[in-house]
Amino acid sequence: MMKKQLPVILLLLILLAPAAALAAEEDAHDSRGEKIARWLEEKGLSAEAAIAAISTLPIVELRGAVPVGIVAFEMPWWKVYLIAVAGNMIPIPFILLLLGPVSEFLMRFKMGKKFFDWLFARTRKKSASIEKYEALGLTIFVAIPLPVTGGWTGSMAAFLMGIPFWKAMLYILLGVMIAGVIMTALSLMGWIGAAIAGIVLIGLVASTLAKTFKPWA
């Protein structure tokens, strides 16, 4: 039983690690987001294009792009905010429109069915609280700038809940904008913002570990 719980713990820690690194100002130069940004710059992309590209990535999304833009690239916060929000929204309509037909086709194959069964089960588990409040729940879920939330997961949740396309787009956009405000504020606060983000992440890890090992107490 313990062995079955360990992968869950390790996965959680792996997912939380990028956010913790990006939230800490002193670690910004070693963050995954900045490494991606620097690599994109080396390929000829401008800093603005690099920030937009990072914002489109799953897991990283806006919460990784904003600290990199403000702290590492030293771009004006309002410019970073606008680019990151726009970049984060780029994949959303494609997920909402294509997830259904793509998953339906790939689930005809054993590996595809196994992957999407896992993905949808994980999404339902992470977004269970959304169903009760729908619009408000989806917006808040996307707005919380953590690796297990965001536009990508919110889009999959909206698809599974059958929320109409334009409503889902509106709710997710509001959530992304709020997440952008939170990440911008934390990034501008420097050490204080890093401390707040660290405390929240530590609290989440401690809570998850407590729930995981409770049956063994």
User: Cα 213 vs. chain centroid, distance in angstroms?
Assistant: 26
**180 sits in which H/E element:** helix 165-188
SS (H, E, C) 87-133: HHHCCHHHHHHHHHHHHHHHCCCHHHHHHHHHHHHHHHHHCCCHHHH
pTM for the model: 0.71
pLDDT at 131: 66
pLDDT at 173: 96
Res 214 pLDDT > 60 = no
Kindly indicate the confidence band of residue 128, based on its pLDDT and cuts at 50, 70 and 90. Answer: low
Residue type, 164: P
Residue-wise pLDDT tens digits, 15-66: 334 444 444 443 443 456 667 777 777 777 888 998 999 999 988 899 889 9
Kindly indicate the confidence band of residue 1, based on its pLDDT and cuts at 50, 70 and 90. Answer: very low
pLDDT at 78: 95
Q: Select from 103, 149, 113 the least CA-distant residue to 130.
A: 149
Residue scoring higher pLDDT (204 or 98): 98
Residue scoring higher pLDDT (149 or 23): 149
Please state the domain extents for the chain: 2-90+190-216, 92-175
What mean pLDDT do residues 2-25 have? 40
Q: Select from 19, 193, 182, 208 the least CA-distant residue to 85.
A: 182
> Of the given ranges (7-21, 81-95, 108-122), which has the lowest mean pLDDT?
7-21
CA pair distance 185, 66, nearest whole angstrom: 10
pLDDT at 210: 59
Do residues 205 and 171 make contact, with C-beta atoms less than 8 angstroms apart?
A: no
Res 199 pLDDT > 70 = no
Residue-wise pLDDT tens digits, 66-106: 988 988 888 999 999 999 999 999 999 999 999 999 989 98
End-to-end Cα distance, the chain: 14
Res 217 pLDDT > 90 = no
Q: Select from 100, 106, 118 the least CA-distant residue to 160.
A: 100
Residue-wise pLDDT tens digits, 129-140: 666 667 788 898
> What would you measure as the largest C-alpha separation in the chain, in angstroms?
55
145: tokens are: 């700038």
Name 2's Cβ contacts closer than 8 Å, sequence gap at least 6. Answer: 216
CA pair distance 129, 154, nearest whole angstrom: 12
